[in-house]
A and B are shown apart, each in its own frame.
Chain A
């Protein structure tokens, strides 16, 4: 199969990779770029574990092809903290113990980040609907929802 050379921006850095047409963005991130923060859950767009941002929009990386992201911007969990400073969502997930096994967490953090950018002051219902495409088999969701609402409040207060 022909390998394509792709130039894209990942977490603000220009990045080159090669991939075949059958490789998803998820395959590329994990297999070619060794950025394993993005998790492989169902592989069919149902669980949201591989959620990344593509040009600012949340997408399932398992349903995006590597060959189509040339010239676009990808944001993954590896770019969420600024150095050792956690994003407010990451800190609130720790504070609220909003994770157990952690496999869903990178996807949920990315989805929540996109949600709060669009709606900085969501209701609990809006958070639950917004995260409907992210499955968690450990927490029962309540701690996740509380963490997102708390992070939203903090981000509003600090103007971030």
Chain B
């Protein structure tokens, strides 16, 4: 019997379909993505059954670190808004910032240093900033810088809303202090950021 030669089949696979899928997914993720803003501290927010979503724009975010540090961080959205906010703060506290520092500040999503140390903080390259321990924004009755940040943010953007993001273990007096400050600045309506409760009915 003569051997039957099976013709060898090509191993090339048509990649077109796979490419299509890959790029479809890529397009989806590129459009859906919104980069996580770099946070100075990671906080573990408490859970609630509330289903209201956090709006993207016109937000002022007050982050409170976990106990025992309870440091306060502050940030608003919009680069131009940050720029004019710094102008107002600089005028009030008689600190002058260079154009370079203004640019650096407008790129900062959140910070937690007193205004006196802000110049020093902005001078650091962005990669170094996360290594520095930020002391938090002072918010006591003697020196309430947080109040000024809130007040000037309202002047910069009158539609601004406040979101308070605290850690589960943040001590109540600090939260109370922040709430009092907000009330003093006539921000009587604000939001607490929570995560959706798992296994809620």
Whether A and B are associated in the same complex: the answer reads: no
